[in-house]
């Protein structure tokens, strides 16, 4: 690992293309890298074609806040259960 200086930070709109002069190494989320030689330019674009991901902690918090995990007892006077588990019980 190394400490790097950051020249600028800016949001990139979807479907935009930008150019990065190198030499250097471009690293991406995950383990992918691209090495560029002296005088080369890396062309990169922002696309929505990667795997779909969710924020698990936020999704679980929203479900808990919406009481999605609450267990509703079966009313023996009723013919139908208000909720069933994966076995239909």
Per the CB < 8 A criterion, the answer to whether 76 and 65 are in contact is no
Q: Please give the residue that has the higher pLDDT: either 3 or 82.
A: 3
Distance, in Å, from the CA atom of 24 to the CA atom of 35, rounded to the nearest integer, reads 6
Report pLDDT digits (tens) over 79-89.
665 555 555 55
CA distance 87 to 85: 5
β partners of residue 17:
45
Output 19 or 82, whichever has higher pLDDT.
Answer: 19
What is the model's pLDDT at position 52? 82
Q: What percent of the chain has pLDDT over 90?
A: 12
Calculate what percentage of the chain has a pLDDT beyond 70: 69
Cα(32)–Cα(29) distance, integer angstroms: 7
Q: Give the pLDDT confidence score for residue 55 in this predicted structure.
A: 92
The stretch 15-21 carries a mean pLDDT of 81
Closest CA to 45 of 19, 82, 68, 64: 19
Q: Which of 35, 15, 16 is nearest to 25 (CA)?
A: 35
CA 50 distance to own-chain centroid: 9
């Amino acid at each position: 690992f190394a400490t790097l200086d950051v020249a600028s930070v800016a949001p990139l709109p979807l479907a935009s293309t930008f150019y990065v002069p190198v030499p250097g190494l471009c690293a991406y989320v995950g383990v992918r890298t691209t090495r560029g030689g002296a005088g080369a330019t890396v062309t990169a674009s922002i696309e929505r074609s990667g795997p779909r991901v969710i924020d698990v902690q936020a999704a679980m918090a929203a479900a808990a806040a919406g009481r999605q995990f609450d267990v509703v007892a079966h009313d023996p006077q009723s013919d139908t259960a208000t909720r069933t588990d994966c076995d239909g019980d």
